[in-house]
Amino acid sequence: MKIHDFIDALPKAELHVHLIGSASVPTVLELARRHPGGRVPTTEKELRAFYAFRDFADFARVYGTVNALVREPEDVATLVTGLARDLAGQNGRYAEVTVTPYAHHVVGMPRRAVTEALDLAARQALDEHGVRIGYIFDIPGEFGAEAARITLEHALTEPPQALVAFGLAGIEQERVHHRDAFRDAFRAARAAGLHSVPHAGEMTGPETIWEAVEHLGAERIGHGISCLDDPRLVARLRAERIPLDVCPTSNVRTGQVARIEDHPLPRLLAEGLTVTLGSDDPPMFATTLTNEYRVAADVFGLDRHALASLAGNAVTASYLDSETKKTLLAEIDALL
C-alpha cells in the first residue's frame, strides 16, 4: 500500500477545526447567495483570491467577513453538516468543532436557536455521514470580558448536547488585557465539567502557553508551537502528556512559519511531545485533514507507524467515550 493510500485509509479524528473556517467554497457561495449584499465574493475564482492572506490580521478580517454571512440558525446547521460531509470523504470519524457563540450573539441569534441548530446538525452529521460531532465553545480573545461572559453563559445555561470543552482563540497578543476575565470564565467552565482546550503559543511565545497551563487548566493546547523556545515548558508538557493540536499549513498561511519546510512539527515529535494534526480552517487555507497527514509524510518523511501514532493520538486526546476510542484505535492498529 502506497503511503497516500495508507493515509486515505486511516480512521481520523479532527480536534482542531473552527466552524466558520470549515465552510467549503460551495458552502460559502451558498451563504453569500442566501444573504446578498455582503462583502464576500460570489464567484469561486474571486473567493479563492479572497483567501490569499497577507498575515494573521488579514486572515482575521476575512474570517470576520465570512462570519457575517452566518445570520440564521439554518446557516449554523449548514456549516456543521457541510463539515461532516467533507470529513466523511477523508475517512474522518469524529470532529471536535470550535464554535464561537459570541459571533452568533452579535448578529442577534438567540442562544436557544443556536443550540437547537447545533443539536440538529450533530444528529444529521452522524445519521447522514457517519461522523460524530463534539463541540468546543471558544472565547474570541480580542473581545475581552464581554465575550468571555457571553460564551460562558451560553455554555452553562443552554449548551448543545454534544458540548465537551471550553476554548480561547483569536489574537493572542490581546489576552493580557483581559487575563482575569478569561481565568474566571475557565474556572467556572471547568467547575461545570467542561474540558479546557485554549489556543496558545501560535503567534506569541511560551508565556501564553504557561498562562494556559497554569491558570486556565489546559488539558490540550491549540497550536502550542512556540513551546520549543522554553525547555522547561517542553519538559512540563511532556511529563503531563498535554497534547498539542498542531496545524502546519495554517501556521504557514497566516505567516507564523515562513515555509512549510521550516515548521517545527519534527522537533515537537523528537522532543517526545504528544501531537495531533488539525486543519484549523481548511478551505480558507486550501488544505484538508488528509492533506496535513500528507504534509507530514511528504515534507517531513514520517512513515506509516508515525502517521498511525498521530492518528491514535487524536483519538486518545479526544473527548469521545471510551468504547468508541477503543474501536477506532483497534482500526488504526489493524491498518498497520
- Residues acting as catalytic residues: 202
Closest by CA position to 310, among listed 335, 294, 293: 293
Rounded CA gap, 304 and 106, in Å? 45
Torsion of CA 38, 41, 44, 46, to 10 degrees: -170
- Assigned C-alpha cell, 123: 444528529
CA atoms within 13 A on the CB side of 1: 12
